[in-house]
Amino acid sequence: MSSFSRNVSTLVPALMAVSLAAASAASLQPAHAGDGARCEIRVSTRGGTTTLEGVVFASAPVAGSYRLSVGSTGAGGGSDIDQSGNFSAKPGEPVNLGVVSLGGPAGTYSAELTIKWNGGTSRCSQRAGGRT
């Protein structure tokens, strides 16, 4: 057997093992990894005002639309607020979307953020007070 044949016969099984290991590692990744986005609603309270802010995080460059819906009730009544628009995001650069400020004494609110882009949809929500 020539030295070329011996080298090929030891190289082929090694390459097959590397290929199988790579395929196994790829199957452990979430299906949406690298090709989508996720959302978050950040809540902060300061001086009697509660602020809700929608944020999108991208795992790849994405462009799409969002809708932030907030319903609140308190001692002074209630309100329903809807904000929507377009966004574009890049990996590692969170993008702030709609912002809603709720004033007065602490009450009850429910917020939902929906983001849509070519290839997917993501929803997130936050609640305070009342039923959850």
Tens of pLDDT, residues 104-128: 655 788 999 999 998 899 999 988 8
Which residues 6+ apart lie within 8 Å of 101 measured at CB? 49, 50, 51, 52
- Report the pLDDT value the prediction gives residue 127, as an integer from 0 to 100: 86
- Please provide residue 17's backbone torsions phi and psi, each rounded to the nearest 5 degrees: -65, -40
**Is pLDDT above 80 for 55?**
yes
**pLDDT confidence band for 30 (50 / 70 / 90):** very low
Dihedral (CA of 81, 85, 91, 95) sign: negative
**pLDDT confidence band for 18 (50 / 70 / 90):** very low
**Which segments of the chain does DSSP mark as H helices, in order?**
3-27
Q: What distance in Å separates the CA atoms of residue 118 and residue 93, rounded to the nearest whole number?
A: 19
